[in-house]
Amino acid sequence: MNRILFADRDERFYTKLNFALHEAGFSTEFSSDGEDAFGRMMVDRTRFDVLVIDSNLPSMNGIELLKRVRTARLHVPILMLNEMDDAMERILSLELGADDCVTKPVHVRELVLRIQALSQCRNRVNPPFAVQSGELRLGNMRLRVEERECFIDRYEIGLTPVQVQVLKALFQKPGSVVLREALMHAAWGKIVHHHLLAMQISLLRQKFDTVTTRSHEIETVHHRGYRLAKITPSDEKSMV
């Protein structure tokens, strides 16, 4: 049974959500404090399958909790709950490693579906009782799916669970177009708004851009999808 840690100061909302999550086959734990939530994560780094964080937690706000979880290399999928429709806060959350963002108030059913999608993403990376080995290679880039790591030469790039699935789908078809819908299904298990996929692609590009010796880059194929394309000598000159 998948276990969810729900970090939110609104216990009444959690009570409603908890019933729906149990009906969907999840077990849950509740924390109304950021420090407490982080402590629970650190006690057992693989205990939770999804972490839901409210942005306005006491003692440690949601953004700080998100930063500390990712700094500690805890690779659990994270869904951020924002108190207002603030585009900058959503962008910051995604840049810091959140896999999805939702603005309150949100319908319980929608939230359950989003949590299910993130849980499926984690299980595709780490199937229960399955042992994965090896890595995907492309030029001087290596993707370790199980460890959720990408290396360009000797430089390591940390990835969120969603970014792992997006990159894995691109690695498996080098040079070929991977349709947006296929990437969405790989990462979230369903069709999501195209802006959410575009944001994850943008974040991956930002990470790749920190290493100028990379052999491939993510190209946009307009109205279709994306592909991992080999960088040509002319491209390399333009990057200098």
**Percent of the chain topping pLDDT 90:** 25
For residue 80, what are its two tokens?
Answer: 């951020």
Write the pLDDT tens digit of every residue in 57-103: 888 889 999 989 988 878 788 999 987 777 788 888 888 888 888 88
Q: Which pLDDT score is estimated for 87?
A: 78
Of the options 3.80.30.20, 3.40.50.9100, 1.10.10.10, 3.30.930.10, the CATH number for the domain spanning 135-228 = 1.10.10.10
Class of domain 2-124: alpha beta
pTM of the model: 0.66
Q: Where are the domains of the chain?
A: 2-124, 135-228
Phi, psi of 194 (to 5 degrees): -65, -25
Write the pLDDT tens digit of every residue in 16-63: 888 999 989 899 999 999 999 999 988 877 788 899 999 888 888 899
Nearest-angstrom CA–CA distance, 26 and 4: 7
Give the bridge partners for 150, in sequence order. 143, 157
Residue 132 has pLDDT above 60, yes or no: no
